[in-house]
Amino acid sequence: MINKNGKQWFDTNGNPIQAHGGMILKHDIRYYWYGENKNANNTISSIGGRKVDFIGISCYSSNNLKDWCYEGLVLEASNDRSDSLYKDKIIERPKVIFSEKTKEFVLWFHYDYDDYLYAACGVATSKSPTGPFKVQKIFKPNRKDSRDFTIFKDAEKAYLIHSSDFNKTTYISELNETYTDVTGLYTKALVDQEREAPTMFKNQNMYFMITSGTTGWDANAALYSRSPFLFSPHKLIDNPCEGPNYRQTFYGQPSYVLEVEEQFYLMLDHWVPENLQKSGYSILPIDIIGNKKRDLRINWTDSPFGGKY
In the set 119, 161, 197, 267, which binds ligand GAL (CB under 6 A)? 197
Q: Per-residue contact track with ligand GAL, 149 to 188, x per CB under 6 A?
A: ----------------------------------------
Asked if 44 touches ligand GAL (CB under 6 A), the answer is: no
- Please state, in angstroms and rounded to a whole number, the distance separating the CA atoms of residues 251 and 276: 14
Which CB atom, from 39 or from 263, has the smaller least distance to ligand GAL? 39
Q: What is the DSSP string of 37-58?
A: E--S--EE-TTS-EE----EEE
Contact window for ligand GAL (CB under 6 A) among 117-125, 184-192, 209-217, 226-234 = 209-217
Q: Per-residue contact track with ligand GAL, 257 to 276, x per CB under 6 A?
A: --------------------
Cis-peptide, bond into residue 285, ω within 30° of zero:
no
Residues in Cβ contact with 272 at an 8 Å cutoff, skipping those fewer than 6 apart: 278, 279, 280
In the set 184, 216, 228, 244, which binds ligand GAL (CB under 6 A)? 216
- Please state, in angstroms and rounded to a whole number, the distance separating the CA atoms of residues 210 and 197: 8
Count of all residues that appear for the chain in the document: 309
Which CB atom, from 218 or from 242, has the smaller least distance to ligand GAL? 218
Asked if 21 touches ligand GAL (CB under 6 A), the answer is: yes
Q: Do 281 and 33 touch, CB atoms closer than 8 A?
A: no
Q: How far is the CB of 217 from ligand GAL (least distance, A)?
A: 5
Asked if 22 touches ligand GAL (CB under 6 A), the answer is: no
Q: What is the DSSP string of 132-196?
A: --EEEEEE-GGG----SEEEEEETTEEEEEEEETTTTEEEEEEE-TTSSSEEEEEEEEETT---E
Chain residues 51-110 in contact with ligand GAL, contact rule CB under 6 A: 92-93
Asked if 114 touches ligand GAL (CB under 6 A), the answer is: no
How many C-alpha atoms does 217 have within 13 Å on its Cβ side? 18
Contact window for ligand GAL (CB under 6 A) among 24-32, 95-103, 127-135, 212-220 = 212-220
Q: Do 180 and 123 touch, CB atoms closer than 8 A?
A: yes
In the set 10, 118, 139, 217, which binds ligand GAL (CB under 6 A)? 217
Question: By the criterion CB under 6 A, which residues form the site for ligand GAL?
Answer: 21, 49, 92-93, 148, 196-197, 214, 216-217, 253
